[in-house]
Amino acid sequence: MANAKHGLLLTGGGARAAYQVGALKAISEFYPRNHGAPFKIITGTSAGAINSCAIACYASCFRLGVKKLEYIWKNFHAEHVFQCEFKEISSHLAHLFSDKFKSPHVDRQPISLFNNRPLQHLLERYLDMSRIDLNIHRGYLDAISVTASDYTSGDSISFFQAESHIEDWQRARRSGKRAVLNCHHLLASSAIPLVFPCSQIGQDYYGDGSVHQLSPLSPAIHLGAEKLFVIGVEQPVVNTPQACRQTPSGADIAGHLLDTIFTDTLNADIERLSRINETLKITPPDLQTQLNMKNINLFRLSNDHDINAIADKYFYDLPITIRSMLRVIGVNEHSHSSITSYLMFEKNYTQELIELGYQDVLRQEQAIREFLAS
């Protein structure tokens, strides 16, 4: 497919998204220092939305954008994402409790375990979102989308900034809306339910984009992508011997719910795309045009590393207040819970994931180069 438009899809996963940075770093080294991003269409959800916008802001110089992103992730601490001090957490929870006694007509603070105001300050400090429109105008980028879940309608909404000819779309339980992206879209997309507060955009409230996202590949395809490069961060299935199986704890169940939110719909959508591509191989070209369907080539970079075990290694890097809260729900350094891997915004952990992503791309370098070649 000559001169096909390449799309980049970055999935959610909290602190696991550091893996994406390592992969992008390796890909950026395939090109000269001043080369633009090889992806004309960039889409992201949850933590992947933040990484997506960072790349879009520097679409004119791909390697520079990745370097800036790497600097943030390599120096992460939990306090950069949510308030960690005992006094701050107590005050936040006290305000939530006092809201119960307010009149229903008074605006209340969104319910969440943590206050993510530090993340907002971080985004406002490092991301100049005005650069996105400039990169689109100069032809370095066709479109960027950030997906969030509308808690009012229950729909998956992809807010996109793109060339003028790209129109809004509407499908069952999902739609695309043109917008000028800002940090509130990123805060909404990355607001893990009950962990971080939902964000208000216009009159509605939005949360993590993975919650209602039935078709993660859809935004990139609607925006014109013909080849899709997907970077997901999935915990591989570990087969436990029958004799070692135990009743799942609350932490185990919560971890499985998060894994379902962030990975299962993507796996199902990729399988659906594969079947459509196989069907199109035996479909006459004129009928393909009539049905408005086209073959979408896809390359998925997924890891086979035990992410939960890596997070367990760095459990004591978390602030003592966060460790104490996790222990209340049964999570410790030996629990092998997914929850830890999502909240481990600590540099030793993120640096290891960055290196894993980097090495995984190098191991598949030839195949990735061929996929990205126009």
Nearest to 63 by CA among 17, 29, 19: 29
- Whole-angstrom distance, CA of residue 331 vs CA of residue 67: 34
- Whole-angstrom distance, CA of residue 91 vs CA of residue 108: 15
Which helix (H) or strand (E) element contains residue 69? Answer: helix 62-74
Do the Cβ atoms of 312 and 334 come closer than 8 Å?
yes
* pLDDT number for residue 1: 46
- Residue with more model confidence, 336 or 129: 129
**What would the pLDDT profile of 168-194 be if each residue is shown by its tens digit?**
999 999 999 999 999 999 999 999 888
- Whole-angstrom distance, CA of residue 373 vs CA of residue 93: 52
Do the Cβ atoms of 69 and 358 come closer than 8 Å?
no
The predicted model scores a pTM of: 0.92
**What would the pLDDT profile of 63-97 be if each residue is shown by its tens digit?**
999 999 999 999 999 999 999 999 998 898 888 87
Helices (H), 314-364: 320-328, 338-343, 347-363
Two tokens, residue 32? 């000269």
- Whole-angstrom distance, CA of residue 310 vs CA of residue 352: 8
> Does residue 353 carry a pLDDT above 80?
yes
